[in-house]
Amino acid sequence: MTKQGEGAAVTGGEFDFLIVDQFLRTLVDARALKSAFELRLIDTVAERGTASAAWLGHALGVDEQGLTFLLGLLEANGVVEKRRADIVLSERFTRALQFRDLLEIKLDFAGFIMNDFADWFTVLLKDPGVFPGRSRLFELFDYRRCFEPTLENYERTRAWMKLTSTLTRYEAQACMGLHDFGAHRRMLDVGGNSGEFALQACRRHPELRATVLDLPLVCDIGMEQILARPERERIAFYKADMRSDPLPEGYDLIAFKSMLHDWPEEEALGFVSKAAAALPPGGSALIFERGPISLSGTTPPFSMLPILLFFRSYRRASVYAKHLQALGFENIRRREVELDTPFFLVTATKPA
């Protein structure tokens, strides 16, 4: 097995969006910030640049005692600062606010599943097979709802797609920096969700065309979102169930982005085998996934709760590299990048 680049890591310093987690360290920090968004305190101060506490209380309809307490929490978290008698957003939070979609989705999702951690973490540790039946997390990610086109199923599917699409919007930047997508002409994005990963690749490489393979309702929602994008003519959707359907052929790159960890190892490797069979000689396989969570003596922030609950699902890059080697692939490379958790990229070429 070729090990070019193995062990080399890309630092996450250039990924400015990671700043959002600094404001979501604890439940108290996160809840206070969410209330500040809900009350439009953040928007009001951002629009005006500065505002007195008295004026803010009147404008937002919050009494003096309540506003003073909220502002104290926000100041302690570095969200706002006092300048004489006025309130302003801190320079650091203003930078984080550039990534508001990521900030708010992390707030919403961690809040949605926090009782899974509070009430069922012991169950997850001791009886992991029982945990999915009690968890809001797995109730949300119910892929059985992605087949029948009912209003409720579309609403449920949109909810988790909003999360995964937002995360991909930022995580994809790391993958695009590690791999030259311009070397390919037709990409199949397996489990590609809303098409965000394909969109990022096509936006950077005008000669690239992509097909997103996913479950029926996921494809329907993805097509709606891509329609408004200039790259829509180069992005197609293919409805299929990876567990039973073969992969379409004719692609020189088959990619798996944050999809394989959703499945038991045997099934995940089976999907990779299907990709190997569908690729032409000289075609490439690409896997971009979270690796095992590294705690390094540091308590993860509140915003990481959804990721922590999946801690059993994240595998080492070597699992996929060894499987690709067994399938006869060449030029197998493993690279790492540190985002909110470790990620890895595995690429390999089918022999010509």
Q: What is the pLDDT of residues 176-206, one digit of tens each?
A: 999 999 999 999 999 999 999 999 999 999 9
DSSP annotation of 88: E
Residue 93 · residue 23 · CB < 8 Å: yes
CATH number, domain 17-99: 1.10.10.10
Mean pLDDT (the chain) is 93
Residue 256: phi and psi, rounded to 5, are -125, 110
DSSP annotation of 316: P
Judged by average pLDDT, the poorest of 8-17, 119-128, 227-236, 334-343 is: 8-17
Q: Sorting pLDDT into bands at 50, 70 and 90, what band is 3?
A: very low
For the chain, which residues make up each domain, given as ranges?
9-15+165-349, 17-99
User: What is the Rg, in whole angstroms, of the alpha carbon atoms belonging to the chain?
Assistant: 22
In three-state secondary structure terms, 237 is strand
Structure tokens at 266: 């045997």
Q: Is the pLDDT of residue 352 over 90?
A: no
Q: Is the pLDDT of residue 8 over 50?
A: no
Q: Is the pLDDT of residue 7 over 90?
A: no
Q: Is the pLDDT of residue 11 over 50?
A: no
| Residues forming beta bridges with residue 51, ordered by sequence position | 87
Same fold, 9-15+165-349 and 17-99: no
Q: Is the pLDDT of residue 1 over 90?
A: no
Q: Is the pLDDT of residue 232 over 60?
A: yes
Gap between the Cα atoms of 233 and 46, Å rounded: 37
Q: Quote the strand ranges of 149-283, DSSP E.
A: 186-190, 209-214, 235-239, 253-257
Q: Which of 24, 43, 45, 20 minimizes the C-alpha distance to 33? A: 24
Give percent of the chain above pLDDT 90. 92
User: For tokens 């890059």, what's the residue?
Assistant: 317
Gap between the Cα atoms of 321 and 93, Å rounded: 40
Looking at residues 154-159, what average pLDDT do you find? Answer: 95
Give the up-direction half-sphere exposure of residue 17: CA atoms within 13 A in the CB hemisphere.
20
Q: Quote the strand ranges of the chain, DSSP E.
A: 9-10, 51-52, 80-83, 86-89, 186-190, 209-214, 235-239, 253-257, 284-290, 330-338, 342-349
Residue 181 · residue 14 · CB < 8 Å: no
What is the model's pLDDT at position 298? Answer: 87
At how many degrees (to 10) do helices 317-326 and 265-278 cross?
Answer: 40
Residue 103 · residue 20 · CB < 8 Å: yes
Q: Sorting pLDDT into bands at 50, 70 and 90, what band is 167?
A: very high
Q: Which of 268, 264, 266 minimizes the C-alpha distance to 313? A: 264
In three-state secondary structure terms, 300 is coil
**Domain 9-15+165-349 adopts which CATH fold?**
Rossmann fold (3.40.50)
Looking at residues 199-224, what average pLDDT do you find? Answer: 97
Give percent of the chain above pLDDT 70. 96
Structure tokens at 144: 């059985």
CA dihedral 312, 316, 319, 321 (to 10 degrees): 150
What is the model's pLDDT at position 294? Answer: 87
Structure tokens at 257: 């982005």
Structure tokens at 291: 């690796």
Q: Sorting pLDDT into bands at 50, 70 and 90, what band is 312?
A: very high
Q: Sorting pLDDT into bands at 50, 70 and 90, what band is 10?
A: very low
State pLDDT tens for residues 93-103.
Answer: 999 999 999 99
State pLDDT tens for residues 254-283.
Answer: 999 999 999 999 999 999 999 999 999 999
Q: Is the pLDDT of residue 9 over 50?
A: no
H-type alpha helices, 14-150: 27-38, 41-48, 53-60, 64-76, 91-96, 100-126, 131-134, 136-140
State pLDDT tens for residues 47-57.
Answer: 999 999 999 99
Gap between the Cα atoms of 166 and 171, Å rounded: 9
